[in-house]
Amino acid sequence: MPLNILHLSDIHFMHQVDGTVHDLDFDVRNELILDVAEVVERGGAIDVIFITGDVAFAGKEQDYQVARTWLEKLCLKTGCNEENVWVVPGNHDVDRSEIKPMVSYLHDRIQEASCEEIDSTISSLILNDSTAANVLASPMSEYKKFAEAYGCVPVEANLSWTSAIELDQGYFLKLVGINSALVSNPKDDETERQLVIGQAQLDVPRERGVLCASLCHHPMNWIKDSAKISSKLNARTSLQFYGHVHDQAVTVEGSSLIVQAGALQPDRREEPWYPSYNVLTLEVVDSGGEHELSVCVTPRIWSKKHCFAADTREDESEVRSFLLNIDPQISLAAATPEDEQESVEPESSNVPYLEAKIVTSTMRQLIYAFVRLPFPQQVQLAAQLGLLEESDAGVEGIELFKRIMTRADERGKVAELKAGLGG
């Protein structure tokens, strides 16, 4: 079955204006829901939603409360399960009021490193120092709480996360969520102070039957170490999703399709002012005994009629179609009889601890249901099942769920935990 993706970016939710007459973008968000509903009627329900950064405007808790409420409505109208949302942070997801002197010091140490020293600097300051990693992540603490419900919190040193979605023909799409806002602060500049990613975020080893897609807020022209990063992404990913630059674009680099969403809610002072978003349909097809990835991109843009319409500025067709080659080293069409007897699932080391191979898995639903519960209810449920221990003091969110789920599995109480979460 084809996979339908809704790609949004730069929504910039502001709790201060939500629900008031000053929320001028309410109409844009409402029109998007109406427009996606029409697209869904033609091409089927949305399976997954990708948001490539700047969910909030200022990284505040209330901004994410507004975002979550709207996403629930969007999922309902598009047929997408609420847990099937994937997000990465943008510069507006950084709470700049929380950039304290120690945070600024770490920012400067990493950003000022030469391109040859960036990876070793990140390793010494973050990967090998949990205290420094937590300090660096502190301005995105509210974003992290928001992203936890969607399973999009990095598992190590607040860098990238990975996930997996089932495709057709026996393939999986491995998602890699990249944090390009690692050293973001008010000094960000495309030329004078570029941002940094580091190769440690690129978890894209070649695996038979596994295609890769990356999600990142900042495009490569904003990244200081872009030469190394883009080279590997172009070689190892089938799809790259970006935000930040408030204009749509779809280009091909090698066998990788680069998709720029534009902004759903750009600043109204920008000229031209073009809210936009994308819908993509992915399907692995058999072409003469070889497998290729078929990608249909439907770019939508705000029109003079005050509604969304097809973006035909670059191409007269409403849908842009691409056939991407699949590396013979990972293609199942090229598999030998011995290979076919082997599992084509991603190796456990490359899939997060609680991430099932299928996006609509019960486990992902449970993560979403648990993290959405108020903390007192999380504790009450775990205590009732005898799954809480003294060592859990101070542990919250997805980390607490990991511990509880592990004990439930060990003690034969998974069914009871699922029932308690409505699963």
The one-letter amino acid code at 75 reads C
Terminal C-alpha separation, the chain? 25
State the pLDDT at residue 353.
33
The one-letter amino acid code at 185 reads N
Indicate if 103 and 153 belong to the same structural domain: yes
Indicate if 19 and 165 belong to the same structural domain: yes
Indicate if 23 and 125 belong to the same structural domain: yes
Domain boundary among 309, 337, 365: 337
Nearest to 89 by CA among 157, 21, 27, 158: 158
Whether 368 is covered by a domain: the verdict is: no
Q: How many domains does the chain have?
A: 2
The one-letter amino acid code at 119 reads D
Indicate if 390 and 276 belong to the same structural domain: no
Q: Tell me the pairing of strands 256-261 and 239-242.
A: parallel
Indicate if 130 and 233 belong to the same structural domain: yes
State the pLDDT at residue 423.
64
Indicate if 132 and 247 belong to the same structural domain: yes
Whether 350 is covered by a domain: the verdict is: no
Nearest to 6 by CA among 313, 316, 264, 212: 264
In this structure, what CATH number is given to the domain that contains residue 156? 3.60.21.10
Indicate if 382 and 332 belong to the same structural domain: no
Domain boundary among 312, 337, 362: 337
State the pLDDT at residue 356.
37
Indicate if 203 and 326 belong to the same structural domain: yes
Whether 252 is covered by a domain: the verdict is: yes
DSSP for 253-298, written as a single string: ETTEEEEEE--SS--TTSSS---EEEEEEEEEEEETTEEEEEEEEE
Element (H, E) at 146: helix 141-148
Whether 192 is covered by a domain: the verdict is: yes
pTM of the shown model: 0.89
157 Rama sector, left if φ>0, alpha if ψ -120 to 50, beta otherwise: left
Q: Domain of 35?
A: 3-337
User: What gap in Å lies between CA 195 and CA 178, rounded to an integer?
Assistant: 12
User: What gap in Å lies between CA 393 and CA 364, rounded to an integer?
Assistant: 24
Indicate if 248 and 125 belong to the same structural domain: yes
State the pLDDT at residue 21.
80
State the pLDDT at residue 404.
86
Indicate if 145 and 101 belong to the same structural domain: yes
State the pLDDT at residue 335.
59
Whether 38 is covered by a domain: the verdict is: yes
Nearest to 180 by CA among 163, 200, 192, 195: 195
Residue ranges for the chain with pLDDT beneath 70: 155-158, 334-362, 423
Indicate if 274 and 182 belong to the same structural domain: yes
Indicate if 395 and 289 belong to the same structural domain: no
